[in-house]
Homo-oligomer: A and B are copies of this chain.
C-alpha cells in the first residue's frame, strides 16, 4: 500500500493495464487480510471472547471497517480500474470479471454519501438494542420509530443507488446481484396458492403421525462426536475448519483453509444440532470449494446469498431428509445414543418430515417456511412502495398470516417483531432464503438427472459424487458469473419453482 502524494497522476497515466491490475489485486489482498481479521474478531466475539472484551472489540471492528473503506476509496483505485477498462481484458476471463466487479463495488460506494452510511450504521446499532427489548416485551410501539427510520433510510439508499423499475430493485441487488422485483413478484404470486395447499396437506399427514419417534436423552459430547463424523463424511475438511458452539449457528470463512461453523445443543433432541451442522456444512463446503488462489479478488468470493443458501439447504434438506442418509446414519446414531436402539431409518425420516404450522420463521419446517418469507416479501415491498405505513404493520402482518397459515398471531413478539433483519436495515434480504430453497431443489434434480451414477450413489448414502458435481458446477466458479446465470449453466435450465414443489410434495405430503 502506497499513500497518495505529489506527482501521483503523472505516474498513473503511464501505467500499463497489467500493472494497474496487479495493483488492484495486491490492494485486494491487503483488504482481504484485514477482512479476514475482521471475520476472525467477529467469530471470536461469538465463541471465545471474555465478556469485558466487548468495548474494545467494537473499536477494533470499527477501525478495520474504516481502514478498508478508506483504502478502497483512494483515488488510485478508480484510476486503476479505468486503466484496466480502457485496455479491455478478454471477455470470460477472471481479469475481466474482476474489473467489472471492482467497478460495480466502487460505483456503489461512490453513490452512497458518507453521512447516509454513518446514519445507517448508527440507526442499526441503536435499533438492534431497542428491537431486542421490544420483542421481549412484545411492544411494537417501542420499535416503531426505528422501523420508520429504517424504511426511510432504505428509500433514500435506493434513490442514491438508482434503479430502472422499482426502488426495491436497488435493495435486492445488494443481496442477490441482478435480481429484479418484477421477477420475484411473479415467482411469489405463482408460489402462493401452491404453498398454501402443500402446507395444509402436509399438516393433515402430520396429524396422523406419532410425535415422539426420536425422543430421548442425548449427551452433548456424543452429539459433538456424531455430528463431526457426519460432517467429515459428507466432505467437510477439518484440517481447514472447525465447529464451535453459539446461540445462533453460523458459518464464516476467515480465509482459505480456515472455515468455521457453529451449532447449538439440546440434550432432549439431537436433530437440532445435527441439522444445524448439515446446514452450516453446506455453507462450509461451498466456501472450502472456492479456489484459494483467487482469494482477495472479487471472483474469489461466494456469489450471493441465494446461491449460498442453496448449498446449505441441499445438505440439510435434500441429503439430510433422504432415506439413504438415514439408512446409513441411524445405526451410527444408535451407537452414540442408546435410546435410539429400537428406531428404524423410516422412523427417523418420518420424524424429520413431520410438518407443523407455527408462528416463528426460524422454527418452521420446509413445507411452511416459504410462506413466512412470502409474507415478509409482500410487506417490505409495501413498506418501500409507501402503500403500507410502518404503524400499520402489525395489523397487516396478522391478517395476512391468518390468510396463509390459518393461525391467529397471539402477539407481536411471535409476529412482526420476531426477526432482527428490519432492525438492522436489511430490507430485501428475506427473499434470498426462498431463492436458496428453490435453487437447492433445482440443482438436486439437475444433478441426479445429469448423472445416473451420482443418483445411484446418493441413493446408497454416498454423497461424494453430489459434492463433486457442486464443486465443479457451483463452488469453483466463485463470483465469475451472476447468480442466476451460474444456476442456469450448472443445472442446464433456468431455475423455477417446479423441482421445489415436487420435493415438498414427495417428502412432506406423500408417505
A237 to B53, CA, bound (A): 12
Contact A258 B52 (CB under 8 A): yes
Interface string of A367-406 (1 = CB under 8 A from B): 0000000000000000000000000000000000000000
Can you sample 22 A-B contacts with CB below 8 Å?
A: A3-B74, A29-B63, A33-B60, A33-B62, A33-B63, A33-B64, A34-B64, A37-B38, A37-B40, A40-B41, A40-B44, A50-B239, A50-B257, A51-B239, A52-B239, A52-B256, A53-B255, A56-B255, A56-B258, A56-B292, A57-B255, A67-B67
Contact A34 B53 (CB under 8 A): no
Interface string of A227-263 (1 = CB under 8 A from B): 0000000000111111000000000001111100000
A311 to B63, CA, bound (A): 32
Interface string of A64-83 (1 = CB under 8 A from B): 10110010001000000000
Check A242/B48 contact, CB under 8 A, given A64-B33, A67-B67: yes
- Min Cβ gap A49→B in Å is 6
Query: A186 contacts the other chain (Cβ, under 8 Å)?
Result: no
Q: Which residue of B lies closest to A62 (CB)?
A: B33
Interface string of A274-312 (1 = CB under 8 A from B): 000000000000000000100100000000000000000
Q: Which residues of chain B are within 8 angstroms of A238 by Cβ–Cβ distance?
A: 50
Q: Which residue of B lies closest to A55 (CB)?
A: B257
Contact A255 B3 (CB under 8 A): no
Q: Which residues of chain B are within 8 angstroms of A33 by Cβ–Cβ distance?
A: 56, 59-60, 62-64
Chain A contacts with B in 140-155, Cβ cutoff 8 A: none
Contact B56 A37 (CB under 8 A): no
State the 10 A-B residue pairs at the shortest beta-carbon distance, nearest first: A52-B257, A53-B258, A56-B255, A33-B63, A52-B240, A33-B60, A37-B37, A53-B257, A51-B239, A52-B239
- Min Cβ gap A305→B in Å is 24
Q: Which residues of chain B are within 8 angstroms of A51 by Cβ–Cβ distance?
A: 239-240, 257
Contact A63 B3 (CB under 8 A): no
Query: A30 contacts the other chain (Cβ, under 8 Å)?
Result: yes
Contact B29 A59 (CB under 8 A): yes
Query: A5 contacts the other chain (Cβ, under 8 Å)?
Result: yes
Check A6/B6 contact, CB under 8 A, given A55-B257, A238-B50: yes
Contact B1 A4 (CB under 8 A): no
Choose one: B1, B60, B62; the contact of A67 (CB below 8 Å): B1
Contact A242 B50 (CB under 8 A): yes
Query: A225 contacts the other chain (Cβ, under 8 Å)?
Result: no
Contact A257 B29 (CB under 8 A): no
Query: A332 contacts the other chain (Cβ, under 8 Å)?
Result: no
Contact B59 A254 (CB under 8 A): no
Q: How many copies does the complex hold?
A: 2
- Min Cβ gap A44→B in Å is 6
Can you add 9 more A-B contacts, CB < 8 Å, to A40-B40, A52-B256, A56-B257? A33-B56, A33-B62, A37-B38, A37-B40, A40-B44, A50-B242, A52-B239, A56-B292, A57-B255
Query: A117 contacts the other chain (Cβ, under 8 Å)?
Result: no
A146 to B54, CA, bound (A): 43
A208 to B53, CA, bound (A): 50
Q: Is the interface of A mostly helix, strand, loop or mixed?
A: helix
Q: Which residues of chain B are within 8 angstroms of A237 by Cβ–Cβ distance?
A: 52
- Min Cβ gap A467→B in Å is 18
Contact A49 B4 (CB under 8 A): no
A64 to B38, CA, bound (A): 12
- Min Cβ gap A390→B in Å is 36
Query: A112 contacts the other chain (Cβ, under 8 Å)?
Result: no
Query: A36 contacts the other chain (Cβ, under 8 Å)?
Result: yes
- Min Cβ gap A262→B in Å is 13
Check A60/B240 contact, CB under 8 A, given A37-B41, A41-B37: no
Q: Which residues of chain B are within 8 angstroms of A74 by Cβ–Cβ distance?
A: 3
Contact A36 B60 (CB under 8 A): yes
Contact B241 A56 (CB under 8 A): no
A19 to B30, CA, bound (A): 31
A74 to B2, CA, bound (A): 11
Choose one: B3, B38, B67, B258; the contact of A49 (CB below 8 Å): B258
Q: Which residues of chain B are within 8 angstroms of A52 by Cβ–Cβ distance?
A: 237, 239-240, 256-258
Choose one: B54, B67, B254; the contact of A53 (CB below 8 Å): B254
A57 to B255, CA, bound (A): 8
Q: Which residues of chain B are within 8 angstroms of A50 by Cβ–Cβ distance?
A: 238-242, 257-258
